[in-house]
Structure 1
Amino acid sequence: MRKVPTTVITGFLGAGKTTLVRHLMENNQGRRIALIVNEFGDVGVDGDLLASCGIEGCADDDIIELANGCLCCTVADEFLPTMQALLDRPNPPDHILIETSGLALPKPLVKAFHWPEIRSRVTVDGVLAVVDAAAVAAGRFADTPEQMAQPDHDNPLEEVFEDQLACADMVLLNKSDLLDAAQLDTTHGELTAKLRPGVRVIRTSRSAIDPLIALGLSAAAEDDLAARPSHHDTEDGHDHDDFESFAITLAEVADPAALEARLSQVIALHDILRLKGFLAVSGKPARHVVQAVGTRIERWFDRPWQAGEDRLSRLVVIGEKGLDRAAIEAALLA
Structure 2
Amino acid sequence: MSKIPVTIITGFLGAGKTTLLRHLLERSAGRRIAIVVNEFGSLGIDGETLRGCAIPNCPEEDIVELTNGCLCCTVADDFIPTMEALLDRSDPPEHIVIETSGLALPKPLLKAFGWPGIRTRMTVDGVITVVDAPAVAEGRFADDPEAVARQREADDALDHDNPLEEVYEDQLDSADLVILNKTDLLDEAALSAVETALARRPRRVRTIRASEGRVDPAVLLGLSAAAEDDLAARPSHHDGAGDHEHDDFASFVMELPEQESTEAFLSRLDRVVRDHDVLRMKGYVPVAGKALRLGVQAVGGRMRHAFESGPRGESGRLVVIGLRGLDPLLVQRSFGSV
TM above 0.5, yes or no, is yes
Structure 2 residue aligned with 1:315: 318
Over 6 Å off, 4+ runs: none
Match for 1:82: what amino acid?
T
Shift of 1:176: 0.7
* More displaced stretch, 9-18 vs 275-284: 275-284
Structure 1 residue aligned with 2:60: 60
Task: Report the TM-score when normalising by structure 1.
Answer: 0.95
The percent of aligned pairs where both chains have the same amino acid is 59
Shift of 1:163: 0.6
Match for 2:318: what amino acid?
L
Structure 2 residue aligned with 1:82: 82
Mark the runs of 5 or more structure 2 residues left unpaired by the alignment: none
User: SS where residue 335 of structure 2 aligns?
Assistant: helix
Structure 1 residue aligned with 2:192: 185
Structure 1 residue aligned with 2:26: 26
Shift of 1:296: 0.8
- Rounded to whole Å, the distance in 2 between the matches of 1:272 and 1:195 is 31
CA RMSD of aligned residues (A): 1.7
Structure 1 residue aligned with 2:230: 224
Pick from 285, 295, 313 the counterpart of residue 289 of structure 1: 295
The superposition leaves residues 137-195 of structure 1 with CA deviations (integer Å, 9 ceiling, x where unpaired) of 111223999x9434661111101100100100000000011111100101111012115
Task: Report the TM-score when normalising by structure 2.
Answer: 0.94
User: SS where residue 157 of structure 1 aligns?
Assistant: helix
- Rounded to whole Å, the distance in 2 between the matches of 1:181 and 1:70 is 36
* More displaced stretch, 121-130 vs 265-274: 265-274
- Rounded to whole Å, the distance in 1 between the matches of 2:87 and 2:311 is 34
- Rounded to whole Å, the distance in 2 between the matches of 1:204 and 1:252 is 34
Shift of 1:69: 1.5
Contact map agreement 2:49 2:310 (CA 8 A) in 1: no
- Rounded to whole Å, the distance in 2 between the matches of 1:68 and 1:16 is 22
User: SS where residue 277 of structure 1 aligns?
Assistant: strand
User: SS where residue 178 of structure 2 aligns?
Assistant: strand
* 2:32 is the alignment partner of 1:17: no
- Rounded to whole Å, the distance in 2 between the matches of 1:86 and 1:319 is 33
Structure 2 residue aligned with 1:113: 113
* 2:162 is the alignment partner of 1:159: no
Structure 2 residue aligned with 1:235: 241
The superposition leaves residues 122-150 of structure 1 with CA deviations (integer Å, 9 ceiling, x where unpaired) of 000000000000000111223999x9434
- Rounded to whole Å, the distance in 1 between the matches of 2:307 and 2:51 is 15
Contact map agreement 1:36 1:64 (CA 8 A) in 2: yes
Match for 1:225: what amino acid?
L
Match for 2:250: what amino acid?
E
Contact map agreement 1:253 1:313 (CA 8 A) in 2: no
User: SS where residue 7 of structure 1 aligns?
Assistant: strand
Match for 1:91: what amino acid?
D
Contact map agreement 2:52 2:310 (CA 8 A) in 1: no
- Rounded to whole Å, the distance in 2 between the matches of 1:253 and 1:49 is 20
Contact map agreement 1:305 1:311 (CA 8 A) in 2: no
Pick from 209, 216, 220 the counterpart of residue 210 of structure 1: 216
Contact map agreement 1:165 1:195 (CA 8 A) in 2: no
Match for 1:7: what amino acid?
T
User: SS where residue 73 of structure 1 aligns?
Assistant: coil
Match for 1:300: what amino acid?
A
Match for 1:189: what amino acid?
T
